Amino acid sequence: MSKEALEALKAVLCDPEGEVSIQGSKEDCLIIKQSLKEIGERLEAEEKDVWVAWTNSDLTEGRGHIKVLAVCEMQATAKRLGAGKSVQGTDCNVTCETAVMLSGIWPCGEWRYPATVIPPTKEDEARQKKEDARDAALSKAIDLGLSAQDIFDMQQV
């Protein structure tokens, strides 16, 4: 990889506005790590899970392209920010993705994904704790032999 290519890669990963970074998956991150290692640069990378709210560029009919609305530290934050922000006012799809913090080559100091990672609010933390407890209770009920219909019926009471 040429010096110019490395500089271009650094510019994409460490954009001063913090709005553009690696767009893609763990495989993309691994390709970038390998490329940088091949030119003999020292790279230290840390990975963590982030929650991404996805929307569409065409909110009327959904005929546009899928794009990132928000990248968040907690699922509850992504759900809150994505509520009603997709096609025809529906909620955004939320998925768990991988963000990377790179150090040792240039000073980013931020978690990078297709956008800046949004930290949770205190309300998001409380909501996430409640959702985690609910999910654990549902999992336990299923493990004890309750069917999905049994659980649905109990929620209707």
Residues 1-10: pLDDT tens digits? 445 555 555 6
Find residue 48's DSSP bridge partners: 99
User: Is residue 23 over pLDDT 50?
Assistant: no
- Domains in the chain, number: 2
Q: Round the average pLDDT of the chain to a whole number and report it.
A: 76
Q: Are residues 47 and 87 in the same domain?
A: yes
Angstrom distance (rounded) from CA 98 to CA 49: 5
Q: Show the domain range for 148.
A: 121-157
* 87 & 139 share domain: no
Query: Can you give the pLDDT at residue 36?
Result: 54
Helix (H, G, I), strand (E, B) or coil at 69: strand
- If asked whether residues 155 and 84 sit together in one domain, one would say no
Q: Is the pLDDT of residue 63 over 60?
A: yes
Q: What is the pLDDT of residues 75-119, one digit of tens each?
A: 999 999 999 999 999 999 999 988 877 665 545 556 666 566 678
**Same domain, yes or no, for 111 and 131?**
no
* C-alpha to C-alpha distances, 15 to 12, 20, 45, 87, nearest whole angstrom: 6, 6, 17, 29
Phi, psi of 96 (to 5 degrees): -90, 125
Task: Examine the domain organization and report whether 143 and 70 are in the same domain.
Answer: no
pLDDT grade for 155, boundaries at 50, 70 and 90: confident
Report whether 86 contacts 136 (CB < 8 A).
no
Q: Considering the entire predicted model, what is its pTM?
A: 0.52
